[in-house]
A and B are shown apart, each in its own frame.
Chain A
Amino acid sequence: MRKAFVGLIAATLFMFAFSFMLVPLYNVFCEVTGLNGKIYGPSDFFKSEQEIRERNVNIRFLSQVNESAPVTFYPSSESLEVVTDKVSKTSYVARNNTNKTLTLTIVPSVSPGLAAEQVKKIQCFCFEEQILAPYEEQEWPIRFYVDSELRGNVNDIYLSYTLFENNRETSMVMHHDS
């Protein structure tokens, strides 16, 4: 009886730990399946001559500022005709509209989600937090390539960046009298 009891307590604790294990498991799962169009860390460009297969793909860039963060944020060009397995460059512009220093996180999203894995970024402002001094404007470069592993029927990819202001106090529900 004691053994069963201890076993069940252990199972409970294991399941509690398991719920936290779901977080990294989910990220792995996303990476494998392209769920949510998430993109992960920087890639390097390793392609031998034989592996390179070129075709044209249209990439469109979107920007979104979450919860009216006081930042002007837009792509410097709205779309780009790129060639697979060739490195391309573009940039986004961000301007701090306040007299305070802002720390920002920029989250990428790719649509269609299944193409996320093939949009490989070599350099991106989304890899780390960005800091903007008061009223500062910065141009943030991206270097990336589209892998020719991309499924044949995908000719058109959206790359969207959502800008979040870090450590911002928010309440989406109640209004505290200001």
Chain B
Amino acid sequence: MAYMKKELGLLTLLTLPFISSADWLDVNMPVGVTDISEEVFGLHMLMFWIMIAIGVVVFGVLFYAMWKYRRSNNKTAADFEENHKLEIAWTVVPTIILILMALPASSLLKKMYDHEAEEGGIDIQVIGWQWKWQYKYLDEKVGDKPLSFFSNLTTPSDQYETNQATKGENYLLEVDEEVVVPINTPIRFLITSNDVIHSWYMSDFAVKQDAIPGFINVAKTTINEPGVYRGNCTELCGERHAYMPVVVRAVKQDEYQDWLQSKKDAAEQVAFLTEKDWTLAELMEQGEEIYNTRCAACHQMNGAGIPGFYPALAGSDLVLYDKPKHIEILMEGVRGSQMQSFAEQLNEVEMASVITFTRQSWGNDRAGDGEIVIPKDIVEYKQKDS
């Protein structure tokens, strides 16, 4: 069949450049960095080789028969219709193989289901949001609340929306706040959701657990190697499902303690900064950074929004003339829409600076008064509320 060879050749030619540049390590499950993930990998490979062995036998017989009993080689067909011994054999043998597969799988599953707290372990609550993750360190306090932060994608939108910028090494797998955890420490992730169902997936730990509103799911892991590990959301959660990565940084115990201290210091610093006198330039600089990671995905870099989906901020009456309403929207969100409340997500300084930024960018400073929103405004808003 000459025409077929041509097709094959063409196809090889077309796909070759892609295949030859593929990293061959990227075609299998990662071994991972926890005892469990190593065992899962072992189980996966065991199953894989069993499948290969069965495939070789079954397809071997099939291809042999296809070749041997072709019409040109075998003019008359036999006409047997059953063979009881054979039929019993090919029912019993697979059953035995299945039992042999079920045994290690069941015992490993049992091990993975040990969710009990251990001495010296830490608990982190993981909350899925459309489309970001929130982490609460339940054993660490800032003031009277657990240490908490949001983890947002930082890949700039010009890398994926306009595709003008070159894609970075960790394209779509980079966040502003990584989850920092100590190695060799049992960590329990208590996973839940704020809105729809998400799923917290970190293949290096062999952890994938759905985040379901109203329910808590637990996953426990102990990381053996320091490093930065990257994962994803794996349950369709709406538009930006592909844009809410999971990034975990595993460090040695003393580094972890340093990081905790710095997070707590930073939280106290905010309290101090709220009292400081702010200039327009300072607020604009910080506001732009926050806008680009938190707001630009929907409202776009140029503040134009997406007509029919996300309202424009540039030239918006509300942004131009109604400062109290503007603050209220960021603090409370807009009901019946995707605009969330950012009251928990941004501190007073961040909130003030991003509002200032939107009120002074893209020609929104039309009033020319250079009016800024300062952290104190936000504090006052909060006080008025309670």
In-complex A–B contact (CB below 8 Å): yes
What are some 7 contacts across the A-B interface (CB < 8 A)? A60-B138, A110-B216, A160-B192, A171-B337, A175-B310, A175-B339, A178-B337
Q: Cα distance A175–B298 when bound, in Å?
A: 10
The answer on a CB contact under 8 Å between B195 and A172 is yes
Contacts of B334 in A (CB 8 A): 178
- Tally A-B pairs: CB < 8 A: 106
Known pairs A66-B195, A111-B216, A175-B339 / 13 extra A-B pairs, C-beta < 8 Å:
A60-B138, A67-B195, A68-B333, A98-B332, A135-B385, A153-B116, A158-B190, A158-B218, A160-B192, A162-B213, A169-B335, A170-B335, A175-B309
A177 within 8 A of B: yes
Partner of A135, one of B125, B239, B308, B386: B386
The answer on a CB contact under 8 Å between A66 and B339 is no
Q: Cα distance A160–B190 when bound, in Å?
A: 10
The answer on a CB contact under 8 Å between A36 and B336 is no
Per-residue contact bits, chain A 78-112, to B (CB 8 Å; 1 contact, 0 not): 10000000000000000101100000000101111
Per-residue contact bits, chain A 144-173, to B (CB 8 Å; 1 contact, 0 not): 000000000111101010101000111111
Q: Cα distance A171–B213 when bound, in Å?
A: 15
Q: Cα distance A109–B386 when bound, in Å?
A: 29
B157 within 8 A of A: no
Q: A68-B341, A70-B341 are in contact. Are A156 and B214 (CB under 8 A)?
A: no
Contacts of B138 in A (CB 8 A): 60, 62, 78
Closest 7 CB pairs of A and B: A68-B341, A156-B117, A169-B336, A107-B214, A111-B216, A162-B214, A109-B215
8 A Cβ contacts from B62-113 to A: none
Per-residue contact bits, chain B 236-260, to A (CB 8 Å; 1 contact, 0 not): 0011000000000000000000000
Contacts of A160 in B (CB 8 A): 190, 192, 216
The answer on a CB contact under 8 Å between A176 and B336 is yes
B340 within 8 A of A: yes
In the complex, what residue of chain A is closest to B333 when comparing beta carbons?
A68
B55 within 8 A of A: no
Q: A112-B115, A135-B386, A172-B130 are in contact. Are A37 and B309 (CB under 8 A)?
A: no
A64 within 8 A of B: yes
A32 within 8 A of B: no
Q: Cα distance A97–B328 when bound, in Å?
A: 12
Contacts of B309 in A (CB 8 A): 174-175
Partner of A111, one of B190, B195, B339, B340: B190
B217 within 8 A of A: yes
In the complex, what residue of chain B is closest to A137 when comparing beta carbons?
B386
Q: A67-B194, A112-B115, A176-B336 are in contact. Are A164 and B341 (CB under 8 A)?
A: no
B42 within 8 A of A: no
The answer on a CB contact under 8 Å between B115 and A172 is no
Q: A153-B116, A160-B192 are in contact. Are A109 and B214 (CB under 8 A)?
A: yes
Question: How many residues from B make CB contacts under 8 Å with A?
Answer: 42
Shortest distance between the CB of B188 and any CB in chain A (Å): 9
Q: Which of B308, B310, B337, B344 has the most CB of A within 10 A?
A: B337
Q: Cα distance A58–B337 when bound, in Å?
A: 40
Shortest distance between the CB of B303 and any CB in chain A (Å): 15
* Chain B binding surface, main DSSP class: loop
Shortest distance between the CB of A80 and any CB in chain B (Å): 14
The answer on a CB contact under 8 Å between A97 and B386 is yes
Contacts of B339 in A (CB 8 A): 175, 178
Shortest distance between the CB of B185 and any CB in chain A (Å): 16
B338 within 8 A of A: yes
Contacts of B190 in A (CB 8 A): 62, 111, 158, 160
The answer on a CB contact under 8 Å between B116 and A154 is yes
Contacts of B130 in A (CB 8 A): 172
B196 within 8 A of A: yes
Contacts of A36 in B (CB 8 A): 215
Contacts of A66 in B (CB 8 A): 194-195, 213-214
B168 within 8 A of A: no
Contacts of A111 in B (CB 8 A): 115, 190, 216-218
The answer on a CB contact under 8 Å between A64 and B116 is no
In the complex, what residue of chain B is closest to A164 when comparing beta carbons?
B214
Shortest distance between the CB of A57 and any CB in chain B (Å): 11
The answer on a CB contact under 8 Å between A62 and B216 is yes
8 A Cβ contacts from B115-133 to A: 115-117, 123, 125, 127, 130
Q: Cα distance A164–B344 when bound, in Å?
A: 17
B311 within 8 A of A: yes
In the complex, what residue of chain A is closest to B141 when comparing beta carbons?
A78
Shortest distance between the CB of B109 and any CB in chain A (Å): 15
In the complex, what residue of chain A is closest to B332 when comparing beta carbons?
A70
Contacts of B344 in A (CB 8 A): 68
Contacts of A74 in B (CB 8 A): 145
